[in-house]
Structure 1
């Protein structure tokens, strides 16, 4: 059933606006409730040399944070169930993960770091920490998401390799596609995700067999009326392949966590990181929940 909740890591910045916009798109598409969470640092994170702030000042900061959240909430689409929350934590990422667990979130959404190129990703410290510790899938909003008109998820692209963890990734992709009523496109990364030394013919055979198997799995799991397709990633490298793929407005990409990740936690691997450099659409990174390794490394 559609629903659940989505946590957005909000700040009163352009990145915060991008995260809120992507969160709204996902919430509308998935029928989920949206929680905007603004995390303030706890006293334990302050330097001992810093004079503790007066209570009145702390109250002012919290009041300002609540006002920022309220201003953001009124700008979101009115049909979305949404709320704002101020949380105190030692780090922004820690506060978001705690909020995600509190609200039973299916996704945590964050924006790009400042200084990024419009339409592209740039990982900041919060996103990096989330991508190495979260137990909940993390959605990354490209720079400028707030200025686009992509109000629903139009298609789910899944980057699949051959390493263990693909089942969890495909399950999540099917759930997102089913709840949003969108189709799935599988992009095989087998040519970039096999042991070195295999010849081109062997790589192609492995890739074709793996793509056919994944497509059959997804097709069988999707409701009637939703389509699944598979395409080969063109190019000689991950970056080249991603740069040559076509993208629909509102599309999202799902990738699996690295084989280095512990079960039920994230760890962004090198293949996913290379993809991120070229992606013009949001990326959702899914934790490994079964097997001994991740999907992308």
Structure 2
């Protein structure tokens, strides 16, 4: 199994590497650090290309990737790649598809609420176009120990069952406890009945999913929780979050099939969320179990960047 890390030579790049290591250690995955160089274009800052400029830039990018690889512990296989593209997001998606990655990990900006999350231009583009799940690391994420729990946020609209199936598959493969969460904003006139409705919805979704494949729920620890507050942000804050936890959320119904679109509610969750987030494409189908076997994973050596493509 492979995870692509959209690496940048700054704090966000380090956050992404740390989270990717934590995820990889839970499942014995290998990491592919990817940096994108701009293509020669009349719209670039230097055109026509100055003699030797491309080589100088490639050398600098290679040095940055060496620094990124140095952040990866020896027990996690990793290699680096340099890609060329007019769009960094498109190049990262293409790399993930080419390398057969099951996750694309990036760091978020640090200007959000409590310096947790802000979606920058590259992350925004990925969240509108990626065909593989995108993982967002909060600012300052330093934990590299294995992930401890998976929380799956389920809304009341169509598609919740698909998100839950993905959550069950991820939790089972990683032997993680699974928490099912619904978030309720209690406005004027709302009552405890709203919370009860959310709990009933969560249990109905869980029961519906059990008919898909009973083996998926064997020995799986599932908890059902409703978070509520005056706003969605307050509801997120009201939940207890473990160290090493990660949140799984689905794409908006506005997303095209097999692509991601972050809806308004997900954006509000993101602004208040204290843990990393995985966003899965609409109608996403997890790869077969055969592709998730972690035995005999080859050790990648040496940890040196590939030439730009």
> Which residue in 2 is equivalent to 1:64?
60
Q: Which moved more, 1:21-30 or 1:120-129?
A: 21-30
> Which residue in 2 is equivalent to 1:24?
21
C-alpha spacing 1:50/1:77, structure 2 compared with 1 (3 Å): closer
User: How far did residue 234 of structure 1 move?
Assistant: 2.1
Equivalent in 133, 136, 142 of residue 137 of structure 1: 133
Can you give the 5+ residue segments of structure 2 that lack an aligned partner in the other structure? 285-309
Q: How many residues are matched?
A: 281
> Which residue in 1 is equivalent to 2:277?
283
User: How far did residue 207 of structure 1 move?
Assistant: 2.0
Q: How does 1:39-188 map to 2 (within 5 A)?
A: 39-44=36-41, 46-47=42-43, 50-116=46-112, 120-145=116-141, 148-188=142-182
> Which residue in 1 is equivalent to 2:264?
270
Aligned residues of 2:199 and 2:225 also touching (Cα < 8 A): no
Measure the CA separation in 2 of the matches of 1:21 and 1:257: 25
Measure the CA separation in 1 of the matches of 2:44 and 2:64: 29
Q: Which moved more, 1:204-213 or 1:54-63?
A: 204-213
Q: Which moved more, 1:60-69 or 1:262-271?
A: 60-69
> Which residue in 1 is equivalent to 2:32?
35
> Secondary structure of 1:105's match?
coil
**Structure 1 runs of 4+ with >6 Å offset:** 196-199
Provide TM-score, normalisation by structure 1.
0.86
Superposition RMSD on alpha carbons, in Å?
2.5
C-alpha spacing 1:177/1:134, structure 2 compared with 1 (3 Å): same
* 1:156-180 deviation per Cα after TM superposition (whole angstroms, max 9, x unaligned): 0011012111222112212221222
> Which residue in 2 is equivalent to 1:254?
248
> Secondary structure of 2:9's match?
coil
C-alpha spacing 1:164/1:151, structure 2 compared with 1 (3 Å): same
> Which residue in 2 is equivalent to 1:295?
none
Measure the CA separation in 2 of the matches of 1:240 and 1:85: 41
* 1:46-90 deviation per Cα after TM superposition (whole angstroms, max 9, x unaligned): 527743223421011112211211221122111111110000011
Residues 1:241 and 2:232 are matched in the alignment = no
User: How far did residue 237 of structure 1 move?
Assistant: 1.9
Measure the CA separation in 1 of the matches of 2:34 and 2:44: 27
> Secondary structure of 1:132's match?
helix
* 1:203-258 deviation per Cα after TM superposition (whole angstroms, max 9, x unaligned): 44542332112334567454544301001112122111001111111100011100
C-alpha spacing 1:153/1:48, structure 2 compared with 1 (3 Å): closer
Q: Which moved more, 1:161-170 or 1:237-246?
A: 161-170
Measure the CA separation in 2 of the matches of 1:49 and 1:23: 33
